[in-house]
Structure 1
Amino acid sequence: MERRSLLRAAALGGSAAVFGGTLWRGAAHAAPAQPGTGPYGPLGSPDANRIRLPAGFTSRVIARSGRTVSGTSYTWHNAPDGGACYADGSGWIYVSNSEINPSGGASAVKFSATGAITGAYRILSGTRQNCAGGRTPWNTWLSCEEVSLGYVYETDPWGTNAAVRRAAMGRFKHEAAAADPVRKVIYLTEDESNGRFYRFVPTTWGDLSAGTLQVLVAGSATSGSYSWANVPDPDGSPTATRSQVSGSKSFNGGEGCYYADDTVWFTTKGDNRVWQLNLTNSTYELAYDDSLVTSGTAPLTGVDNITGTSSGDLFVAEDGGNMEICVITPDDVIAPFLRIDGQSGSEITGPAFSPDGSRLYFSSQRGTSGSSSGGITYEVTGPFRA
């Protein structure tokens, strides 16, 4: 498998972090990631929040569904899902979707330079089942509706500008989005058992009001070459977008999506895979597949949201499994980074790093109760690799 090391650059968290250049390139089409010793060592005993972390890391609760965010008057939304971080002067903002239907939408929490919470507020309302999404290079949040004929909404993390529906990006069961500033496109996943992988090519980069929706065309194998074809009717009615282009490749339950350094990774929950598109040579391959683990128990199941760091590490959250976030290193080693105990009825969502890479935010969507009203949003701080 070809993995590219990411530049050690200042990288904003979220699936649309922008990197440039290449430090090294591995051999193409080697084996997918295999279990091994992770860069942070073994998980410790559960802490006060029942999170098992490597030595040197600590956790805190940022918000709970249905409760006021500490230090603010804002009530945190139910079923927290996809998220991203944004620099805000010397502080930062973490945005989070709400995967409920109706209502949905998204909220934000604001932090000072020391990590203290200074505000919380709504940035999107009146939408349905907002699952994942993606950060744009111009600092907006693309919030995606995971419903039939769902839309993408472009939102303002600062809550100043009204959210805008981006119909040109297609109507389908949207999951995640990742921006590629080199090719000036947005990649999109579709959460259907026969979903497709798309890219949206804006007429003008930085303006998502108009453009062309395209779908990935490839064979049925798990590696090979690919191309793009225009979707004739992005509106998806009467024919679903995934059924409009002959030869478009089917993916079993598209979930998270992350771009960095001429590579885009995305996950499929139906077959527990992490896919990798090598954008410079238009090839695809598997970065991880639980059925191809050659020894021991597969550490990652129920693959869902994905993000990465400037060190080249990928962090993949589990929907179910044993409630872990696993790390895949540039050396193709996969290992648990953290585990949440006592929340088997939930899923981990919204992993995103603070601008300086020292804090990881994520949620347990249904918490200890197993209900959307039991969501918990966390922060983990520690010596992440630079």
Structure 2
Amino acid sequence: MERRSFLRAVTAGTGAVAVTGGLWHAAATPAAAAAADSPYGPLRAPDAHGLALPEGFTGRVVARSTRPVGGITWHGAPDGGACFADGDGWIYVSNSELPLIGGASAIRFGPDGSVTAARRILTGTNLNCAGGATPWHTWLSCEETYRGRVYETDPYGNRSASSYAAMGRFKHEAAACDTDRRVVYLTEDEDDGCFYRFTPAAWGAWGALSEGRLDVLCDAGGGAVAWREVPDPDAPWPWEQTRTQVDEALHFDGGEGCYYSPQAGVCYFTTKGDNRVWAYDAGAHTLAVVYDADEPLGTVDNITGRAGGDLYVAEDGGNMEINIITPTGTVAPVVRVDGHPESEITGPAFSPDGSRLYFSSQRGESGFVAGTDGVTYEIHGPFRA
């Protein structure tokens, strides 16, 4: 069944797509999340860094590609990211979406927000786009390339990275850990990509994801969805690709960001080809669309969220904004980067205390595709819990 036909089947007879998780408090039509006044108020004029922010928020630059930070040279094309607690400070990890030399780096911040150190935690990989944090405080760095791998990396620099073929060989984008069901959801950046679930043989420690079962989300008929096992996640080239191994698999137009809300039991993911934010309710086994519009949020990409239910979605180009989507359906910009018309916003992640939001402009003012002009920012302010 084609994607749009499937969506019609989901909504048939009801006129609505129901998200049954606790985060979204009512049924929502595909376009129910729409532009409205931001809970933070309107954006002010851009500051000295080109950041347009609401009243009460401040921004700064923490790193620039090819320039020193914390004892290393910050990587080009900064992409997916996450934050990790570290004693009285915290760490922000960022991927590098460069070919052949991609990898990932980590910046350590002290309790006052000052940069105290930085390190490379992954080197020699290819087009590391997004990824996801694990509950045991490691970073899954995903290669967005043909037959790409997932690498487990150590933000604290104590272990060398490991790759896991069991998680599939495809154009990986993002990963999100479901701590309730002990699975990892994975997106695929193809115009006919799939949405996957990896169930490891073990859970809770470094290397636990080295073995397990990879499933793909499928049409189960009558608007229902179900998981089916991928027969050979590590099929050797040029054998059948991962996304074509199961006939019933649902296909999505350019899978991007992925975020699991433990409060709602819902995994949210974005598809850039049709500019949608999807919600997979893991308990009810239902799939819904919670944003399906062109404005104010365009070219959806990386996504993160807060315990109170707010989602934060970054734009791949568009107006160069991060937009909030609230549980009541409000969509509004929280930050805009001015003067970077050929770039994209990547890697949104909150500090452990929730007061700081980190992200990057991947190609900066120049828009140079080699990513040597990337800028990594920090926004500090009264974010909602």
TM-score higher than 0.5: yes
* Map of 2:10 onto structure 1: none
Q: In the TM superposition, what are the counterparts of 1:153-172 in structure 2 within 5 Å? A: 153-172=151-170
Shift of 1:28: 3.3
Shift of 1:107: 0.1
Q: Distance in 2 between matches of 1:27 and 1:348?
A: 30
Report whether the alignment pairs 1:327 with 2:320: no
Answer yes or no: is 1:288 the counterpart of 2:285: no
Equivalent position to 1:267, from 267, 270, 273: 270
State the distance in 2 between where 1:345 and 1:236 align: 37
Maintained 8 Å contact 1:323/1:340:
yes
Q: Specify the code of the residue in structure 2 equivalent to 1:43.
A: L
Per-residue CA deviation, residues 253-283 of structure 1 (Å, 9 max, x unaligned), is 0000000120000000001000001111111
Measured in 2, the distance between the counterparts of 1:4 and 1:374 equals 43
* C-alpha contact 2:28 2:290 (8 A) present in aligned 1: no
The one-letter code sitting in structure 2 at the alignment partner of 1:376 is V
Asked whether 1:385 is paired with 2:384, we answer yes
Tell me how far apart the structure 2 counterparts of residues 3 and 329 of structure 1 sit (CA, whole Å): 14
Corresponding residue for residue 301 of structure 1: 298
1:167 Cα deviation after fit:
1.1
1:309: Cα distance to partner? 1.1
The 8 Å contact of residues 172 and 236 in structure 1, kept in 2 or not, is answered as no
Find the aligned partners of 2:345 and 2:321 in 1 and give their Cα distance.
7
Q: Tell whether 2:370 aligns with 1:364.
A: no
Separation (CA, whole Å) in 1 of partners of 2:242 and 2:309: 33
Q: Does 1:37 align with 2:37?
A: yes
**Distance in 2 between residues matched to 1:280 and 1:30, nearest whole Å:** 20
Query: What residue identity is the alignment partner of 1:279?
Result: A
Gaps of 5+ in 2: 1-16
Within 2, Cα distance between the matches of 1:155 and 1:234? Answer: 21
Q: Which piece of structure 1 moves more, 250-259 or 229-238?
A: 229-238
Corresponding position of 2:66: 66
Residue type of the alignment partner of 1:325: I
Which amino acid is 1:27 matched to?
A
Residue equivalent to 2:7: none
Specify every segment of 5 or more residues in structure 1 that has no aligned partner in the other structure, as ranges: 6-21, 292-297
Distance of aligned partners of 1:276 and 1:374 in 2 relative to their CA distance in 1, 3 Å threshold: same
Tell me the alpha carbon deviations over residues 230-250 of structure 1, each in whole angstroms, 9 at most, x when there is no partner. Answer: 000101440001000011000
Range with bigger deviation, 189-198 or 275-284: 275-284
| Partner-residue secondary structure (3-state), 1:257 | strand
Deviation at 1:73, TM superposition (A): 2.1
CA-CA distance at 1:310 after TM superposition: 2.0
- Letter of the 1:359 partner, please give it: R
The one-letter code matched in structure 1 to 2:211 is A
The answer to whether 1:376 aligns with 2:375 is yes
Q: Is the 8 A contact 1:35 1:334 kept in 2?
A: yes
The alignment status of 1:253 with 2:254, answered yes or no, reads: yes
Q: State the secondary structure of the residue aligned to 2:372.
A: helix
Amino acid at match of 1:277: Y
Contact 2:216 2:230 in 1 (8 A): yes
Q: Take 1:282 and 1:189, find their aligned partners in 2: how far apart are those partners?
A: 17
Percent of paired sites with the same residue: 59
Stretches (4+) displaced over 4 A: 1-5
Per the alignment, residue 94 of structure 1 pairs with 92
Deviation at 1:2, TM superposition (A): 4.9
Shift of 1:358: 0.2
Paired with 2:343 and 2:90, the residues of 1 have a C-alpha distance of 27
Are positions 1:52 and 2:55 aligned together? no
Instruction: Look up the match of 2:219.
Output: 218
Equivalence for 1:231: 230
The correspondence of residues 136-155 of structure 1 with structure 2, limited to 5 A, is: 136-155=134-153
Q: CA-to-partner distance for each residue in 1:29-79, whole Å, 9 max, x for gaps?
A: 44531111111010000001011000000000000000001xx32100000
Quick one: distance in 2 between partners of 1:90 and 1:358? 15
Partner residue, 1:241: 242
Deviation at 1:3, TM superposition (A): 5.6
The 5-angstrom pairing of residues 110-149 of structure 1 reads 110-149=108-147
Task: Report the aligned-residue RMSD.
Answer: 1.5
* Conserved 8 A contact 2:24-2:328: no
Match 1:201 to one of 174, 199, 202: 199
Distance 1:250 1:76, change over 3 A: same
Q: Please say which of residues 138-147 and 205-214 is displaced more in the overlay.
A: 205-214
The separation in 1 between residues aligned to 2:20 and 2:55, in whole angstroms, is 28
* Equivalent-residue separation in structure 2 for 1:302 and 1:148 (angstroms): 22
In the other structure, the counterpart of 2:6 is none
CA distance in 2, matches of 1:86, 1:155: 12
CA-CA distance at 1:220 after TM superposition: 9.7
Counterpart check, 1:81 vs 2:79: yes
* In structure 1, C-alpha distance between the alignment counterparts of 2:283 and 2:140, rounded to whole Å: 25
Q: CA deviation at 1:287?
A: 1.0
- Tell me how far apart the structure 2 counterparts of residues 93 and 77 of structure 1 sit (CA, whole Å): 16
Secondary structure in 1 matching 2:201: strand
TM-aligned CA deviation for residue 311 of structure 1 = 2.1
- Shift in CA distance, 336/220, structure 1 to aligned 2, threshold 3 Å: farther
Q: 2:25 maps to what in 1?
A: 26
Aligned to 1:191: 189
Q: Secondary structure at the match of 1:370?
A: coil
Match for 1:278 among 281, 294, 298?
281
